[in-house]
């Protein structure tokens, strides 16, 4: 039996790159996070909810910024939590900081 914590899997940079080029996954939601980040813990349940609500239509993953600094810098991010939403491998939306669930879901919704 799986727990809620593994709804959204952590990916490394190599997996992330292949996700972006994967034609199966149209919309990818990437949560840049860190274990020491308090606000990141606040949006973790929202990412789980997003993953459940859009299962099969959008893929939600997490990236630990401490072990994936180059990718964090690549997108010009300076603070976390930062949620990047891609469609067909193209960055469409960046949401930085703690935001209400509706902001994440409506961002995903308009890309589907």
Is 45 noted as a catalytic residue in this protein? Answer: no
Is 40 noted as a catalytic residue in this protein? Answer: yes
Which H or E element spans position 87? strand 82-87
Catalytic residue among 40, 43, 58, 83: 40
Catalytic residue among 27, 37, 65, 85: 37
The side-by-side arrangement of strands in the sheet containing 9-10 is 9-10, 58-64, 27-33, 82-87, 90-96
In sequence order, the β-bridge partners of residue 32 are 63, 82
Q: 109: Cβ–Cβ under 8 A, 6 or more apart, which residues?
A: none
Q: Which residues are catalytic?
A: 37, 40
């Amino acid at each position: 039996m799986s727990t809620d914590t593994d709804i959204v899997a952590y990916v490394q940079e190599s997996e992330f790159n292949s996700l972006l080029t994967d034609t199966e996954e149209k919309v990818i939601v990437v949560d840049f996070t860190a274990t020491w980040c308090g606000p990141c813990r606040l949006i973790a349940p929202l990412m789980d909810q997003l993953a459940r609500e859009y299962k099969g239509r959008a893929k939600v993953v997490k990236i630990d910024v401490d072990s994936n600094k180059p990718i964090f810098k690549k997108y010009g991010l300076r603070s976390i939590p930062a949620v990047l939403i891609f469609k067909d491998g193209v960055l469409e939306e960046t949401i930085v900081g703690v935001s209400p669930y509706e902001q994440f879901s409506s961002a995903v919704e308009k890309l589907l």
